[in-house]
Structure 1
């Protein structure tokens, strides 16, 4: 009995000592108003190398973008695969550091494998817009919405870099950590796959008219990440661009990835097929040919005489 009591006391002491460790291991959801938070602060820098390229009748606006972290803490996003009724999904979770050394978490959307880049990206990290008249409120004439990013430390940011070493150097794993350190920027060059805005393809209005526009790179457009500043102005990088007219005589090419019209139309009683165009009438149709007479039956051939081999 005494031995069992001693074991119980030792077990209670052991649990009491390890409880804070387990509590720190399971990070709590972040309180956005907690003054201890060392939040990142994303700032989209001015796009560079913006130029319009026309190939086979279609214009594309290419450009280089940079998204910097000018906040007090690093941007850290962790990917972890979970099973759902729709199959496995790689969830993205932001990890925010606090001044007392602990961390908290926030749901940050999802990860997705980017085939053309051959690594995993954080979904909905940026949005590319082409606006008319005003870079903040002007009408959007073209866009490349909800761009996914692989988050890495690519180059130091002038005026914010304090000598912090490069922490996030690659992002080629599905489950792992991506991020941008304070004073560093992630860079997407104009020659990367899908680093452009379509000006003609997938449009039914004949393409973007020639003229003066504003190219806007918006970081975290859906406010999925916890930042020091959540306003649109601080998250937008802007540059004025000139869109020239189409010069070629090629028709605007089609792309199977463009949105297609729905195959059916809902009605009060269910789904009915979309009506098709009435075929044009046939002018002066040919009369049907008369059937051919049957061929005469040939008489049977006489039997062959046996040869030398029987």
Structure 2
């Protein structure tokens, strides 16, 4: 009697295989490299432009203004400017969103989930890859921005080394703004699934809302302090600035961590029971 051949079950994908797959998927897109390059050049240009402005007009400042600039370490304000922070948020949030909505738009997500039924594991791998890439991108941009801006100012002898108090915090906070923004973009992309609403929602949440909330009243100050852009502004703050409701550097770091963790959790968990 001939025994019936049983079909061999295909082995489950190992998590490291999912990581490798998501890594290849991200870098197989030509737009990834170009987007990172253009984003980096834009951010660095804003920071270098601010430093160049101070360098160019340094001799026109009066003695008191020059002394205050040096005394307060204001050269660090050129290391990563507010405009550069806005560009970084926009670029990385959009890239994070597109890693998700791009697959939904093309329909590739159905094939992906059919090949890997473990949706949460797949999305966790996507989150880790995007976080790693954006962290490296943020470190490169923040590091180069610091070096370029301080090199420009050093022509007049007013540039500061990275060992200066507060310099490392500015570089690290600016670098981590990239993965935090990208994770928020991913979370919104997972919930909304289409490009336009996701990008608009990212802009509103990460840039518009922080711009309209006032820190002059307690309730709105609490809301402002819970936003990642406001947390970044607190972390890169130089010296003591007057505030109606001041908050701590430690609190700003906690806001960073909370947004990253919640956004990652939404991205991973929201796909489990939703039809694709």
TM-score, scaled to structure 1: 0.27
Higher helix share: 2
Q: Which has the higher contact order (CA 8 A, sep 6+)?
A: 2
